[in-house]
Amino acid sequence: MSSIKNKKSVAIIGARGYVGSELITLLYAHPKVEIIAVSSRSAAGQRVAEITDKELYFTNLDPIETASLNADIVFLALPNNLCDSYMQEINKVKPDCLVIDLSFDNRLKESSEVDNAGYNWVYGLAELNNSSISSARRIANPGCYTTAAQLALYPLKQFITGKPNIFGVSGYSGAGSTPNEKNDTKHLKDNFLPYSLANHLHESEISKHSGHQVNFMPHVAPHFRGLSVTVNIESSKSFNEQLLLEHFSDEYKGQSLVHVQKNIPTVKEIAGKHGVIIGGFSVDKRTGKNIRLVCVIDNLLKGAATQAVQNMNIALGLNSLTAIDNK
Q: State the pTM of this model.
A: 0.94
Note the pLDDT of residue 68: 97
Given the candidates 3.40.50.300, 3.40.50.280, 3.30.360.10, 3.40.50.1820, the CATH classification of the domain at 144-299 is 3.30.360.10
What does DSSP assign to residue 77? -
What does DSSP assign to residue 142? P
Percentages helix, strand, coil for the chain, rounded to the nearest 5? 30, 25, 45
Helix or strand run (H / E) with residue 219: strand 215-220
Which CATH superfamily, name and number, covers 4-143+304-315?
Answer: NAD(P)-binding Rossmann-like Domain (3.40.50.720)
Phi, psi (deg, nearest 5) at residue 74: -125, 125
Active site residues: 144
Note the pLDDT of residue 63: 97
Mean pLDDT of each 10-residue bin along the chain, 327 residues long: 71 90 95 95 88 88 97 95 95 97 95 89 96 96 97 97 96 74 75 89 96 96 95 96 97 97 98 97 93 98 98 97 83
Q: How far is residue 221's CA from residue 210's CA, in Å, rounded to a whole number?
A: 26
Q: How far is residue 258's CA from residue 123's CA, in Å, rounded to a whole number?
A: 18
Q: How far is residue 219's CA from residue 241's CA, in Å, rounded to a whole number?
A: 27
Phi, psi (deg, nearest 5) at residue 208: -65, -50
CB 19 within 8 A of CB 76: no
Strand partners, 167: 217, 230
Where along the chain do the CATH 3.40.50.720 domains lie? 4-143+304-315
Where along the chain do the CATH 3.30.360.10 domains lie? 144-299
Burial class (CB in 10 A: 0-12, 13-18, 19+), 272: exposed
Note the pLDDT of residue 17: 84
Note the pLDDT of residue 43: 85
> Who's near 187: CB < 8 A, 6+ residues apart?
181, 193
